[in-house]
Structure 1
C-alpha cells in the first residue's frame, strides 16, 4: 500500500510539474529556478529536451548525495527520474499553451502554481525531484543554515543569469514564477496532516 501511494504521488506530482513547464513556461520563454531553470536555459539556447537536460544536470548532484548524504539520494532518485521522463512526454502541451493566449504574467503565475503544487505534493511524502534544490539542501546541512534561503539564493542566481544570457527571457516574469513556486510549495508542505485526513474522509 505504501509503495502504491508513493508511486501515485510521484505520478501526480511529476505530471503537475510537466504541465507547469510545458503549458505555461515554454510558450513565453519563462524560467524557473534550480536545475529545472538551467534545463530551460539550455532548451532556449540549444533547443535540447528539458527533461533529459534536467536528468543530466541532476546526475552529478545525486552522486554527491550517494557519497555524503545517502538519505537525500533515496528520497530523490525516483522523483527525479520520473519527472525528467514526464516533462519530455508532455512537451506537446506547449501547443495548448500557445493557443490559450494567456498573458505572460498569468502564465508565469499559473506555471509557478502548478510546479509548486507538484513539488509540494511530493515533498509531503518525503519525495524530492533533486536537482540544485538537493544540492542546496546538502550545502545548507553542511553550513547549518536554512535550506529554504539557500534554495532561494540559487534560484534567483539562475534566473538572473538566464535573463542576461537570453534576450527573450524577462527577469521579472521569471522571478514571478520562482516566487509562486516557492509560495505554493511552502503552503502545501505546511498543511496540517489532520486537515489532509479530514479532506480524505
Structure 2
C-alpha cells in the first residue's frame, strides 16, 4: 500500500506541478524529464529504462533492496505515464507549483524510504550510500538531485533552473523530515 501511495504522490507532483512549467526533479527522474521535454519520450518509461543498471546492481549485491524497490519503480513509472494528463489540469504559478510539487514528491519519496522501499533510480543509489556512510538519505538524495539539475543548467531557461533548484531543496527537506537519520 505504501508503494501505491508514494508512487501516486510522486506522479501527481511531477505531472501536476513540475511538467507544466518544464521544471526538473533530480536524479534519474530529472534525466527522464529532460528527455521528455526535448524529445517527447514518456517520462515513466524512460525512468524505468534508465533505472535498469541500478536494479541489476541491487539484484547482484543488495537483493533485499532489489525486491523492495523494483515494485516501487514499476508502479511509479506506470503512474507517471498514466497521470501525464494532469499537466493541463492545474493552472498555478510556477512558485506555487514548486512548493506543491516539492511537497508531493518529497512526501511520496519519504514515505517509501521510511518503509525501506523506493522508486528505484537514484533513490536506490542513495539508499546504498546512506547505509554505507551513515548519512541521512534525504541529504544524499538532495546532493544527487543537485548534481543532475546543475548539469542541466545549459538546457533550461534561467527561471526554470532556479525553480528546479528550489524544488529539489523542498524535496530534500521534506524527505529528510520524514526519514530521520536513525531510520536509515
Query: Could you say whether these structures have the same fold, taking a TM-score greater than 0.5 normalized by the shorter chain as the test?
Result: yes
Contact conserved, 2:136 with 2:176, CA < 8 A, in 1?
no
Q: Give runs of aligned pairs for residues 44-193 of structure 1, distance below 5 A.
A: 44-97=37-90, 100=91, 102-141=92-131, 144=133, 146=135, 148=137, 149-167=139-157, 170-190=160-180
Q: Which of structures 1 and 2 has the bigger CA Rg? A: 1
Q: CA deviation at 1:76?
A: 0.6
CA separation in 1, counterparts of 2:24 and 2:12?
Answer: 14
Structure 1 alignment gaps of length 5 or more:
1-7, 191-201
1:167-192 per-residue CA deviation (whole Å, 9 max, x = no partner) reads 476222001110111111222234xx
Does residue 38 of the first structure (1) align with residue 38 of the second (2)?
Answer: no
Distance 1:136 1:124, change over 3 A: closer
1:86-117 per-residue CA deviation (whole Å, 9 max, x = no partner) reads 010000011112xx2x2111111110100111
Distance 1:168 1:41, change over 3 A: farther
Q: CA deviation at 1:165?
A: 2.1
Contact conserved, 1:45 with 1:166, CA < 8 A, in 2?
no
Contact conserved, 2:129 with 2:135, CA < 8 A, in 1?
no
Contact conserved, 2:58 with 2:66, CA < 8 A, in 1?
yes
